[in-house]
A and B are shown apart, each in its own frame.
Chain A
Amino acid sequence: MWILSILPEAAIHIIFGLGILGTIAGFVLGFLMFMKPYRLAVQICGLLILTLGVYLEGGLADYKEWELRVKEMEAKVAQAEAKSANTNVEIQEKVVEKTKVIREKGRDIIKYIDKEIVKKEEVIKYVENCPVPKDIIDLHNQAAELNKGATK
């Protein structure tokens, strides 16, 4: 109810209180002789104000309940955002560690080729006698660029 955002809470209670007082007054004042001509008018006004007051009080109660739910939801969202940030840190660490291990293992194998494999006699013989044919190199290079055919 938008009216609740512009009307202070106290005003709603005052309207409700005035409604009760007006309704009571409408019935009590009838006993006083000089007020008798205004009795009906006071009763009608009192009942109208009381109706409005009850309506606004109901709306206020509902509004407060929703406000509470919104706060609860905001707390949940804030908690989720913090959790999400923590998860990101955990995943970052995991991926960085995994990548580091892969890179190191790759470097170790290349180092092993340079240090050990190239020194082996049968490898030296093979390298001297059998250079890799150009067609094989071209095929390898084409395969290494397979993704380029897919990008426009």
Chain B
Amino acid sequence: MRYLLIALLLAGCSTTVPVTQKFPNATPELMKKCEDLKKIEGDKVAITEMMKVVVHNYSLYWECSAKVDGWHDWYNAQKKIYDDIAK
């Protein structure tokens, strides 16, 4: 009888129903690390050789910049999707 009473008194206690949202995966391309800049090899280097290394390094900078822009796009898009769930 005592246990029945306890069970009845506890009948109103709530239970949690978990609705979990998986953390979104990042785009694979964005997960790649930016490459190290190229160094000029040798002691006597022609200006044209130096120029080629400089151009190569500029390319690396802009590739990395594209990834950072990609991360901004990813964050903004994912945040919007997340915020829309709560609405």
Contact = CB atoms under 8 A, between A and B. Distances in A.
How large, as a class, is the contact surface on chain A?
35 or more
Contact of A123 (B10, B30, B48, B56): B48
Interface string A115-152: 00110000100110011101011001100110100000
B39 interface: yes
Contacts of A3: 7, 10-11
Interface of B: 7-8, 10-15, 17, 19-22, 24-30, 36-40, 42-48, 50-59, 62-63, 66-67, 69-70, 73-74, 77-78, 81-82, 84-85
Interface of A: 1-3, 5, 52, 55-56, 59, 66-67, 70, 73-74, 76-77, 80-81, 83-85, 87-88, 91-92, 94-96, 98-99, 102-103, 105-107, 109-110, 113-114, 117-118, 123, 126-127, 130-132, 134, 136-137, 140-141, 144-145, 147
15 contacts: A3-B7, A55-B11, A67-B17, A70-B17, A87-B78, A88-B25, A96-B29, A106-B55, A123-B47, A126-B47, A140-B39, A140-B50, A141-B40, A144-B36, A145-B39
